[in-house]
Structure 1
Amino acid sequence: MKKIIVWSLIASLAGFLFGFDTVVISGADKKLQLLWHSSDTFHGTVVMGMALWGTVIGAIFGGIPTNKIGRKNTLLWIGILFFISAIGSAFANNPFVFAAFRFIGGLGVGASTIAAPAYISEIAPAKDRGKLVAFYQFNIVLGILIAFLSNYLLRDLGENSWRWMMGVQAIPAFIYSVFIFSIPESPRWLLSRNKDNEAKKVLQLIGLEADFEKMKEEIDIDNANVAFTNDHIFLKKYRTPLLLAFLIAFFNQLSGINAFLYYSNRIFQEAGLGESTALLSSIGIGIVNLIFTLLGVFLIDRLGRKVLMHIGSIGYIISLSLVAMAFFFHWQGIAVPIFLFLFIASHAIGQGAVIWVFISEIFPNHLRASGQAFGSTTHWILAAIIPSLIPFLFSSIGPGVVFLFFAIMMVFQLLFVFVLMPETKGISLEELSEKLIKR
């Protein structure tokens, strides 16, 4: 079990780079708009939004290398993409070059949401799978916190401080890439490629060699289905896991989480806080996110995925409604940060802890990467569109209306969880496939 934990932690470091890459731009947001004299629309869609469109492409096509070259090799290439993006963004001399290198980093983010959860779910025992896959989310949150802290510490390095903010990510990207060499390939992927001896060696390393025959039999059945039926996730029999993956990803972004993370400084300044206070408040957001993610990781295999989603949905509705009221009634001072702390806590213990675990569980072995890609693509298309519109929406209809819309959408998420979402706690991946597939 110790080896599984170590390998899961190493693979989940892709989440650290994801979180860091997503949030580091918030410290450079206004500096870059002033430097390049960008309009709100250009700044939102090109300078800020291009990484998110890279993430969409990475999510759409990330399932291909994850299936073809393996989970481990894909994770290695993800580290290389993040390294190139960090160096290139730091040395960019115009918005288009900057956007191009941010796009490369986005490819890494999108692919990581497929390869890392798939890898961890395939090496983890059923009773610990939720906790181990949630390491990925924990590292996303840790990356977010370190990015906020890094931005704060580097803020006074002059007019080029944004270059240091963007470039420092090269260090963890390099370290992560080196660590990936120490993990084995997923035994389930090896079996799906008829590399039985290699799979058996990995299972022996983790003390699960007794499961070899059962796992091989189930994967052989999956492979036969592919060979004889041209199986794919859009067949009618897979509509339940497909719908579940779509809805959990859809509601994740309709909470406004990525819009908030990308523009946290701008939101705090809209609420009347100074720039330094806004940066400090962002660090507070990162700390709250980390604490409640740890709580979610602790509870996900105890209370289950569905209970955490209920808790998170109710917290979303309360906190987002309060944020909207704060902007409508011009509440100043500490009110907005407190409400947003509640918002991030609700996200961390609910959607944040659950989404990547849940999507990685609900598809059969031979379609896991494809299903993960579908859920991730839904997530990232919305994550690209919504934050790109934030500068325009704030200046046109105001932040109060925007946050009220997010609050209303979370009412619908609560209904989805209550009516449609199944509990997946403690059930093997193969049993879940049988339960959710309509034959």
Structure 2
Amino acid sequence: MITDLKKEVKFNSSYIIGISFISALGGYLFGFDFAVISGALPFLRKEFALDPLWEGFLTGSLALGCIVGCIIAGSIAEKFGRKPGLMLAAFIFAVSSLAISFSTWLAYFITMRFAAGIGVGMASMLCPMYIAEISPAKVRGRNVAINQLTVVLGILITNLCNYFLADAGDNAWRWMFGLGTIPALVFMLGVLFLPESPRWLMKVGRHEDAEKVLYKIGSEEFVTSTQEAIQKSLKGATSKESYRAVFEKAVRPAVLIGITLAVFQQFCGINVVFNYTSTIFASVGSSLNQQLFETVSIGIVNLVFTLLAMWQVDKLGRKPLMLIGSLGLSIFYIVLAYLLQNHLSAKLVSVFVLLAISTYALSLAPITWVLIAEIFPNKIRSAASTVAIVSLWGAYFILVFTFPILAKVLGTYGPFYMYAAVCFLGFVFVLKKVKETKGQTLEELEENLIRH
């Protein structure tokens, strides 16, 4: 049994939080692209004469790029390390954001949004994994949730920019997208100061380098016990991860849980609210300014409840928060669908949209990423994370591509009844299949997986 890491040891908390925040800046890029499309869509519909099919594809093209980005990130992370992958993600996003702002025809716009998705996909996989690998067990949940905090900050700041740019004329959307270059360059500079993941360094035989990083994180007792635990977990590992190994019998339960949670996080439907805020509120008669103001309200509520989740993830635990979130969303969606169906007050719609956002921000948003970052064994973490996050982005594409079509056929309210059913099924899955992981080291979680 691995017990050393549970002793009282000293950690360099400011250093750990600092490098966690720097690496989590990749999450800001994630949040930026989630939010920018919501503010830009009213302009893009006019610019490119979008019908529901093309609107869905334009929105979802980011996810297709994210799938490619995850696959690229997995290979780079194993061959060259986590740090070079983060650097490349920032560079791709910076270039593509600038290129989008100069789009003159639809095919070019979609191609550049696909390219931006590659950068976002790489960051979405590497940032949580990196943070999990450099964080001590007792603060790992909080630190991985920092990534979600930067996602939320990206959403809020981008929504504010969209709101203030709305009166800049028909080309306002160009400024909305072009501003994404700034955080991408900041992220790229920040990555220069990050250490490499000690778990990756030990996996490739660079034990002295790993030891130096671990000494920056914690005391000698922490360093010794962590090294022993990592070495034990890496016995039999190869220098190159195999995707076939991801589905071996011993690890298959964790992988299937990771994939299901990733897909559930998207099929729960909340990203329809983030991406199509203007469509939802237009259906109850809100003006363009009111629609953009609602995106700002969503961003503020999202931030507040993400902070609450960071406070509770290592206290209340992962499973209780997931159960609260999935059941709560199911209930709120039913009410929201009823309000939209009967064209009731936009203020009432706003209340239940914000209740849904707050519930998601407290639960499924951060906790899914925490679980994906920590439930996979060291030997297959990169490959397994790739499989899970590719599944997540595939589900995101299906979600945002189908919403405009479903809304046209069923009415704006119709899809929310479907999302309510998915959330209830997710509640049952979490209740029966997901185990609590708080307070355990990555190596202890691996031992428990093998034992069961």
Is this contact kept in 1: 2:215–2:223, CA < 8 A? no
* Corresponding position of 1:349: 362
Give distance in 2, aligned partners of 1:395 and 1:412.
Answer: 26
How far residue 222 of structure 1 moved from its aligned partner, in angstroms, is 4.2
Question: Alpha carbon RMSD of aligned pairs, Å?
Answer: 1.6
Q: Equivalent residues in 2 for 1:157-306 (5 A)?
A: 157-227=168-238, 232-306=245-319
Contact persistence 1:44–1:387 (CA under 8 A): yes
What percent of counterpart residues are identical?
A: 37
1:248 is displaced (CA, Å) by 0.9
Alignment of 1:21-420 (within 5 A): 21-45=33-57, 47-227=58-238, 232-420=245-433
**Equivalences, count:** 438
Describe the shift of the 1:164–1:206 C-alpha distance in structure 2 as closer, same or farther (beyond 3 A): same
2:21 is aligned with 1:9: yes
Partner of 2:5: none
- In the TM superposition, what is the alpha-carbon distance from 1:391 to its structure 2 partner? 1.4
In structure 1, C-alpha distance between the alignment counterparts of 2:446 and 2:78, rounded to whole Å: 19
Give the residue type in structure 2 aligned to 1:297.
M
Say which SS state the counterpart of residue 334 (structure 1) adopts: helix
Q: How far is the alpha carbon of 1:297 from its aligned partner?
A: 0.5
The answer as to whether partners of 1:130 and 1:425 remain within 8 angstroms in 2 is yes
Report deviation, 1:397: 1.3
Q: Which amino acid aligns with 1:188?
A: R
SS where residue 236 of structure 1 aligns?
Answer: coil
Asked if the contact 2:160–2:296 (Cα under 8 Å) also holds between the matched residues in 1, the reply is: yes
Q: Measure how far apart 1:30 and its partner are.
A: 2.4
1:401 CA displacement? 1.5
On the 8 A contact 1:84/1:101 being kept in 2, the answer is no
Whether the 8 Å contact between 1:113 and 1:372 is mirrored in structure 2 is no
TM-score, normalisation: structure 2: 0.94
State the 1:218 CA deviation. Answer: 3.8
Question: Is contact 2:90-2:119 (8 Å) kept?
Answer: yes
Shift of 1:221: 4.1
Give the Cα separation in 2 of the matches to 1:221 and 1:272.
61
Residues 232 and 367 in structure 1, CA contact (< 8 A), matched pair in contact too:
yes
> CA separation in 2, counterparts of 1:114 and 1:36?
32
TM-aligned CA deviation for residue 431 of structure 1: 0.6
CA contact (8 A) 1:359 1:375 kept: yes
Stretches of 4+ aligned residues off by more than 4 angstroms: 228-231
Aligned 8 A contact 1:313 1:410 in 2: yes
Q: Secondary structure of the residue that 1:232 maps to in structure 2?
A: helix
What is the DSSP-based 3-state SS (H/G/I as helix, E as strand, rest coil) of the residue aligned with 1:309?
helix
Stretch of structure 1 that moved more, 330-339 or 1-10: 330-339
**Whole-angstrom distance in 2 between the partners of 1:111 and 1:26:** 22
Residues 25 and 435 from structure 1, CA distance in 2 versus in 1: closer, same or farther, beyond 3 angstroms?
same
Counterpart of 2:335 in structure 1: which amino acid?
L
Instruction: Name the SS for the 2:437 alignment partner.
Output: coil
What's the offset of the Cα at 1:213? 4.2
Q: What one-letter code is carried by the residue in structure 2 that aligns with 1:435? A: N
Answer yes or no: is the 8 Å Cα contact 1:253–1:382 preserved in 2. Answer: yes
After superposition, the C-alpha distances for 1:323-369 in whole angstroms (9 at most, x for unaligned) are 11112222122111111000001100010120111111101112111
* Contact kept? 1:424, 1:432, Cα under 8 Å: yes
Q: Relative to structure 1, is the Cα distance of residues 352 and 6 closer, same or farther in structure 2, using a 3 angstrom cutoff? A: same
Give the drift of 1:208: 3.8
Any stretches of 5+ residues in structure 2 without a counterpart? 1-12
AA partner of residue 363 (structure 1): F
How big is each residue's C-alpha offset from its partner over 1:79-127, in whole Å with a ceiling of 9 and x where there is no partner?
1111011100001111111111111111111111211111111111100
